[in-house]
Amino acid sequence: MGTEQEISLIDLIAAAVRKGTKIIIFALIIGLIATAGSAFLDSLGSDEQKDPNVLSSTERQIRDLEKTIERAENGIAAEREYIGKSLYMQLNPYDISSTTINYTVSDLDVPLDGSLGTMQNPTEYAMNRVIGQYQQAWNGTDLADAPVFSGYGLEDRYLREVVFINDAGNGNIAIEAYAASEEESKKLASAAEAVLRSLQNTAVTESFGHKLIHTSTVTKQILDETIRDAQNAHYDAIDMYTDDLSSAVKTLKDMQEDPVTQLIKKFIIGCIAGGILGFLWVMFRAMVRGSAESAEQV
C-alpha cells in the first residue's frame, strides 16, 4: 500500500515536470498581468500624484520618516553610551554590595534669644534645617569635580546613581553606596563621606552650629528588583528604537524606490505566484484523470 502511494506521488511530480513549459508560460503570463495591472493603477493615480497637496503630503511623510530615523539612531547611541559608562548598569540586582555610613547631628546650637519666635519645638526645627542644608549642599555639588571622585572619570549623573545621602530621621544622616563588590562600595561611600565633611562649614553657616558624629558603618549584600527593572528599561528602549529604525528605513526605501524597480519586483512576485498556481493545477488535473497510475498515461 505504501509503495503504490509512493509511485503515485512520483508519477504526479513527473506529470508536473512534463508540463513544465506550460507552467513557465502560465507563470510569465500571470507576472505580465500583475505588472500591467499595477502600471495601469499607477497611471490612474498619476494625475492625483501631480497634485501639489498630494506631493506636499508625501514630502511631509518623507521628512517625518527621516526625523524618526534620526531620533532612533540618536536614541540607540545615547542608550549604548549610557550602558557603557554607567556603574548602575553594571550592578547585579540580585547581588549588590551596599555600604551605609551613618551620622548623627549633635550639640545643636539652638538660639535662645527668641529669634525663632514662639514655635513649639525650636530644636526639631533647627535639626531639620541642618539636615536640609546638607542635602541642598550635596545636591548642588558636582561630584565629578570632587578630588575624591576624580579617579572614576565619570560625570556627576553617573556617580549619583550609586552614591547618595538620605535623611534617616531623628537627626541622623545616612550615606549609601552601591557597587558590584564590597571593596568598591566601601570606596564609594568613603569618597561620599569626604564630600559630606567638606560641606559642614556651609551647613553651619547656612543653618545652625552643630557637630556631625559618625555612629556606624554597615556593609551588606542586598537584592533590589527595582534596579533590575530600571536596567531592563534601558535595554527595552534599545529594542524599541531598533524596531522604529528598521520600520522607518524600510518605509522610506519603499517610497523612494524607482518605479521600474517596483514593476520588476511585482513581475517576479507574479511569476512566482503563477508558477505555484500552474504546478497545483497540473497536479490537480493529473489526479482527476487518474494519471497517477502511470507517468506514460499522463
Least confident of 46-55, 59-68, 77-86, 225-234: 46-55
Percentage of the residues of the chain whose pLDDT score is greater than 70: 68
DSSP state of 159: H
Q: What is the pLDDT of residue 235?
A: 97
List Cβ neighbours of 215 (8 Å cut-off, separation of 6 or more): 102, 103, 104, 172
**DSSP-derived pairing of the beta strands 172-179 and 163-169:** antiparallel
Q: What is the total residue count of the chain? A: 298
Same domain assignment for residues 112 and 207: yes
Unique residue bearing C-alpha cell 529594542: 239
| Angle, vertex CA 155, rays to CA 150 and CA 159, nearest 5 | 80
CATH of the domain at 113: 3.30.1890
Local structure of 123: helix, strand or coil? helix
C-alpha span between 64 and 58 (Å, rounded): 10
Place of cell 551647613: 203
Q: Which domain holds residue 101?
A: 95-222
The dihedral over CA atoms of 71, 86, 167, 150, expressed in degrees to the nearest 10, equals: -120
> Residue 18 carries which DSSP code?
H
Q: Are residues 104 and 196 in the same domain?
A: yes
Which residues are paired to 104 by β-bridges?
Answer: 172, 213
Phi, psi (deg, nearest 5) at residue 172: -110, 145
- pLDDT computed for residue 253 by the predictor: 83
**pLDDT tens-digit map of 9-27:** 566 566 556 666 766 776 6
Residue 189: pLDDT over 50: yes
pLDDT in tens, 63-79: 899 999 999 999 999 99
**Number of domains the chain is built from:** 2
Give the confidence band of 225 by pLDDT, cuts at 50, 70, 90: very high
- Identify the pLDDT of residue 252: 86
Evaluate whether residue 128 is within a structural domain.
yes
pLDDT (mean) for 118-129: 78
| 25 and 129 housed in the same domain | no
